[in-house]
């Protein structure tokens, strides 16, 4: 059994002066991401961002949609950053040490061969007491989504690091109401986006700071997560635009693949546009454990993950996306690249796409899951994304 999943406080915090000074690939930005713009940047040619257009929403099942997805990359420790004193409003994006995301960053990810990105967003610091999301923050989230969506990525947009939906019975009603309000606002803002935009209802909902947090949870946690998932689905399906046909991802307790979490997980019937959201850093000691001596892995641990997913979901016709995986840097690049190739290859055999959680951290004793330098938009450990892309290709490619 896996010992746990991700703790996303990876990158060392920078001072306000350093973080404010960072730029990425010239850091050309548009005001909304929806109109053609160009920005002059120091020492570079202005980059033109084309307008975003929306195709017709296809009426296809999530099982069909997932077949179109190859391998993916997650923008970690960016829009999900929070909790740092003196960083408020739009400044929170850089509070965990990364520069602001840019159009050029997603261009580099696209050029590597990825066709799906995940954009984690923490919303609660940008909401008032009544749950209303700050308009300026919503605009920035849309701008970043458009950087990817406009380049024909599949995009997963979620709520991340929220501190209000812990799965307890006495919190369930309040959490459901807040979840509905948050997703109503997000759903309305993005209602015209087609099936390239996927909503993920929650990230790793769990009983934080308890013995049940990462061991698969308990009956209470499982039941409340199921209740929250149902509230999310009901909310999006009740909105206008393309939302009745929107593809939605719903997690197990903590997005865990432990038997306890999966045995009690309820996958709603009658809606063919749902995807299970799972995270798996396996084997944990190699992938996410910080002991530098655990620099190798047993491939059977990876195969166990895929067999577990196959048994619980794939064999039942239920589509799955592994929204987070990765292995920290222990000066073992070739091993990590071989592991990534094995991981994506084994997942592909059962039809499950995988997304690497890139937190922009490369060195030190924390969770060094970074792959691409966001200041230059160049890959620091290119062997890893190369391995993922090779493993995700069809035989005809």
Distance spanning both ends of the chain, measured CA to CA: 36
* Planar angle of CA 135, 78, 145, nearest 5 degrees: 55
Alpha-carbon span 196 to 44, nearest angstrom: 31
Tokens read off for 4: 């746990």
Beta-carbon count within 10 A of 113 CB? 16
The Cα–Cα gap between 161 and 83 comes to 10
Residue 85 carries which DSSP code? T
| Helix, strand, coil fractions of the chain, as percent rounded to 5 | 35, 15, 50
Could you give the CA distance from residue 179 to residue 202 in angstroms, rounded to a whole number? 9
**Pairing between strand 116-119 and 354-358?**
unpaired
Task: Quote the CA–CA distance of 322 and 248 in Å, as a whole number.
Answer: 14
Q: How many CB atoms lie within 10 A of CB 272?
A: 15
Which of 200, 213, 324, 346 is catalytic? The answer is 324
* HEC readout, 338-370: HHHHHHHHHHHHCCCCEEEEECCCCCCCCCCCC
Which residue stretches of the chain are H helix?
A: 16-21, 62-67, 103-112, 135-149, 169-189, 219-237, 259-263, 284-287, 299-312, 333-349, 383-392
From the list 204, 213, 346, 367, the catalytic residue is: 204
**Catalytic residue check, 204:** yes
324 noted as active-site residue = yes
Sign of CA dihedral 224, 230, 233, 238: negative
Q: Which residues are catalytic?
A: 204, 324
């Amino acid at each position: 059994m896996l010992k746990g999943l991700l703790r996303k406080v990876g990158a060392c915090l920078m001072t306000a002066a350093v973080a404010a000074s960072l730029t990425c690939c010239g850091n050309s930005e548009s005001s909304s991401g929806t109109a053609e713009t160009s920005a002059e940047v120091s020492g570079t040619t202005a980059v033109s961002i084309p307008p975003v257009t929306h195709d017709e929403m296809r009426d296809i099942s999530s099982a069909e949609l997932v077949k179109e997805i190859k391998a993916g990359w997650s923008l970690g420790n960016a829009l999900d950053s929070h909790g740092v004193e003196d960083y408020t409003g739009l400044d929170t994006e850089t509070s965990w040490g990364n520069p602001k995301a840019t159009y050029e960053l997603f261009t580099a990810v696209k050029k590597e061969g990825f066709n799906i990105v995940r954009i984690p967003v923490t919303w609660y610091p940008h909401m008032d007491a009544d749950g209303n999301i700050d308009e300026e923050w919503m605009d920035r989230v849309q701008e970043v989504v458009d950087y990817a969506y406009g380049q024909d990525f599949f995009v997963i947009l979620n709520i991340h690091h929220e501190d209000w939906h812990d799965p307890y019975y006495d919190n369930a009603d309040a959490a459901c109401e807040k979840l509905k309000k948050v997703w109503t606002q997000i759903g309305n803002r993005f209602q015209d986006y087609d099936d390239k935009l996927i909503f993920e209802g929650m990230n790793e909902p769990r009983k934080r700071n308890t013995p049940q947090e990462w061991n698969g949870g308990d009956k209470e946690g499982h039941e409340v997560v199921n209740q929250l998932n149902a509230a999310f689905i009901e909310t999006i399906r009740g909105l206008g635009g393309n939302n009745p046909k929107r593809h939605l991802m719903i997690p197990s307790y903590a997005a865990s693949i432990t038997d306890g979490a999966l045995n009690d997980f309820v996958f709603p019937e009658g809606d063919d546009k749902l995807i299970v959201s799972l995270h798996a850093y396996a084997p944990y000691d190699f992938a996410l454990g910080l002991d530098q001596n655990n620099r190798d892995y047993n491939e059977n641990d990876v195969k166990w993950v895929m067999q577990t997913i196959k048994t619980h979901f794939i064999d039942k016709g239920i589509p799955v996306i592994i929204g987070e995986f990765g292995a920290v840097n222990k000066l073992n690049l070739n091993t990590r690249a071989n592991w990534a190739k094995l991981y994506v290859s084994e997942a592909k055999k059962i039809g499950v796409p995988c997304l690497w959680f890139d937190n922009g951290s490369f060195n030190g004793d924390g969770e060094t899951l970074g792959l691409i330098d966001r200041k230059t938009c160049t890959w620091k450990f290119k062997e890893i994304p190369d391995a993922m892309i090779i493993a995700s290709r069809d035989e005809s490619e």
